[in-house]
Structure 1
Amino acid sequence: MADYTVIADRQGLQDAADALSRGTGPVAVDVERASGFRYSQRAYLIQVFRRDAGVFLIDPPAVGDLSPLQRAIGEDEWVLHAASQDLPSLRELDLMPPVIFDTELAARLLGHDRVGLGAVVETTLGITLAKEHSAADWSTRPLPQSWLEYAALDVVHLIDVRDALVAELADQDKTGLAAEEFEAVRVREPRAPREEPWRRLSGLHTVRGRRNLAVARALWTAREEYARAEDVSPGRLVPDRALVAAVLAEPASKQDLARIKEFTGRASRTQLDRWWAAIETGRATDELPPERAPGTGDSFPPPRAWADRNPAADARLKSARAAVEARAEELHMPTENLLTPDLLRRVAWAPPADGDAASIGDALAESGARRWQIAQTAQLIAQAFVDSVQEAATAPDDAS
């Protein structure tokens, strides 16, 4: 097993940056976070590999300013696996690639059955990677050597994988569309925060009544504030099910709250005053949440309700979905990569007045579809909409 050293100071980072700037070809980059352990999604380890330079493992919290690394590789192609997961953490550190190659996304577009890093490495290179540390707490210090070897292996093969996938993309005539997808991932803006994130509490559907929902909201908020202050994953303090159990039990006092056996978690008793104060806040507030989460202005009902709510849209969706699925099969890729279900539902629910391929393409583009997706699907969808009308006109009248 190789002996890896973590770069944890400015001089070490500068030495690594100098070596990387002398390397050749694309740069493999990976990020290890502490999801499930820490509140933040910050990077606790960054792995970088470049041919003729080697592999470097960097401790961002210890090093601080990573601008030497950005200067060293900031004009080169970065190769990542599942880039959408790592780019936000890299951006927090002002590490921004000019162009990326996403090996996970490339494997999806090529129709690989399995697209995890280990599976793609095995499929393309015949090398088996151990994944026993994938869920480790990467905020641990010092990091064990076995973890560092695992982290290094995440990048040392990535350039070879990229080269194999580049050849596959060329063979399937997907080089251009892959580049569009990679760029869309690279420039994608972060999702806007949810208006009512507390409604994501697991088990909240069992809570009835606006007052009880207010208590659930207050408990969630108290846990969130404490988790942020302590930089601990909220569920490790008090799990969702424990918060919901406290709401459902409706304790009459702080002592009653402490007696609820389902109210578990390492902070359930040490922070008992905090949770009881939250319950009292929820019970006293005049701002009661609605029973159901408010919808957005451009929302539409779930497809299962379309047959009753909008039969024409239901017919359009079913016809177009079949056509898009058939084209995805022809292209050997998952349907959701050809066109996301949400985009198809939007245009089926409220199609443009003209209904031709050009106007449907414009509607898809406005909702975020890429050019290659529009080129592959707009005409199919337009024809499917026409077919749905004709099928409805020729269908036998059940009432006769």
Structure 2
Amino acid sequence: MVHNDSQGRLTLATHLHLGDLPDDLDLGPVVAVDSETMGLRYRRDPLCVVQLSSGDGNAHIVRLNRPNYDCPNLKRLLVDPAVLKLFHFARFDIAMFQLYLDVDTWPIYCTKIASKLARTYTDRHGLKDVARELAGVELSKAQQSSDWGNQTLSKDQLAYAASDVLHLHRIRDQLDLMLAREGRAGLAQACFDFLPTRARLDLGGWEEMDIFAHA
């Protein structure tokens, strides 16, 4: 939601939801999504938080109820074919959603894949670098390794979680221009389409193996 302060100035908000998204929340046809976990190992480190933004400068952060993960509204959005989900490094997030939420997220756009296909002049494709160049913002990663399983999320954690989704719409717009210019939009889409299968391979034990390699 967008609010006005006492002087009529536009202010933005970060909304914390416990367990699930509200029943009446409509985030539109393109939603930026990210997640926070207790680590980077699929079955050891549980999914704790999912954050979303419609691209209007507001963030919605869901602290999930563990271990039952009863979040029908969030799950419905993740599988809605009419809603494009934007990620940076979608491969990890959607594997976590497969494992803990039992959903196949679709359709998907991954700004990290798009960056690697479009920004071939650099090897810096982390969100911090991409956001600096394409959205003109400096992101802090100070809370990246904090305790996301805590029952109470700090203001710094909420701000960090929000920052990971607030700029993905602008980043996608710039990457789309670059992909079209370089004739790689179709290749990018084919990669996005493969991501749910890539996530299933990761969960099945092939996360470190290039199955297309000769060896």
Count of residues paired in the alignment: 194
TM-fit CA distance, 1:187: 2.5
Provide the rounded CA distance (Å) in 1 between the counterparts of 2:42 and 2:76.
29
Max Rg structure: 1
SS of the aligned residue for 1:183 comes to helix
Distance 1:174 1:64, change over 3 A: same
**Structure (1/2) with the larger strand percentage:** 2
Distance 1:175 1:39, change over 3 A: closer
Deviations 1:221-240 (A, max 9, x none): xxxxxxxxxxxxxxxxxxxx
Q: Assess if the C-alpha contact under 8 Å between 2:112 and 2:127 holds in 1.
A: yes
- Report the equivalent of 1:25: 29
TM-fit CA distance, 1:186: 2.3
Provide the rounded CA distance (Å) in 2 between the counterparts of 1:121 and 1:25.
22
Greater Cα offset, 35-44 or 98-107? 35-44
Distance 1:124 1:152, change over 3 A: same
Q: Assess if the C-alpha contact under 8 Å between 1:34 and 1:44 holds in 2.
A: yes
- Report the equivalent of 1:345: 214
| Structure 1 segment 1-400 matched on structure 2, within 5 A | 4-9=14-19, 13-15=21-23, 18-20=24-26, 23-35=27-39, 40-51=44-55, 54-61=58-65, 64-72=69-77, 74-75=80-81, 76-91=83-98, 92-110=100-118, 111=120, 112-188=122-198, 189-191=200-202, 192-193=204-205, 343-346=212-215
Q: Assess if the C-alpha contact under 8 Å between 2:49 and 2:64 holds in 1.
A: yes
Q: Assess if the C-alpha contact under 8 Å between 1:81 and 1:117 holds in 2.
A: yes
Distance 1:56 1:128, change over 3 A: same
- Report the equivalent of 1:282: none
TM-fit CA distance, 1:59: 1.1
Q: Assess if the C-alpha contact under 8 Å between 1:66 and 1:95 holds in 2.
A: no
Distance 1:37 1:179, change over 3 A: closer
Provide the rounded CA distance (Å) in 1 between the counterparts of 2:72 and 2:144.
28
Distance 1:9 1:162, change over 3 A: same
Deviations 1:103-138 (A, max 9, x none): 111111121430001111111111110111111121
Provide the rounded CA distance (Å) in 2 between the counterparts of 1:38 and 1:344.
24
Amino acid at match of 1:190: L
TM-fit CA distance, 1:19: 2.0
Amino acid at match of 1:41: D
Provide the rounded CA distance (Å) in 2 between the counterparts of 1:150 and 1:120.
16
SS of the aligned residue for 1:7 comes to strand
Amino acid at match of 2:32: A
**Structure (1/2) with the larger helix percentage:** 1
Greater Cα offset, 157-166 or 62-71? 62-71
Percent of matched pairs sharing the same residue: 26
Deviations 1:202-260 (A, max 9, x none): xxxxxxxxxxxxxxxxxxxxxxxxxxxxxxxxxxxxxxxxxxxxxxxxxxxxxxxxxxx
SS of the aligned residue for 1:24 comes to coil
Amino acid at match of 1:69: L
Distance 1:53 1:68, change over 3 A: farther
Amino acid at match of 1:24: G
Provide the rounded CA distance (Å) in 2 between the counterparts of 1:9 and 1:30.
16
Amino acid at match of 2:112: E
SS of the aligned residue for 2:54 comes to strand
TM-fit CA distance, 1:82: 0.7
TM-fit CA distance, 1:52: 5.3
TM-fit CA distance, 1:39: 6.5
Amino acid at match of 1:94: D
Amino acid at match of 1:44: C
TM-score normalised to structure 2 length: 0.79
Q: Assess if the C-alpha contact under 8 Å between 1:26 and 1:77 holds in 2.
A: yes
Provide the rounded CA distance (Å) in 1 between the counterparts of 2:152 and 2:12.
17
Regions of 4+ moved over 4 Å:
36-39
SS of the aligned residue for 2:39 comes to coil
Where do 5+ consecutive residues of structure 1 fail to align?
195-339, 347-400
Where do 5+ consecutive residues of structure 2 fail to align?
1-10
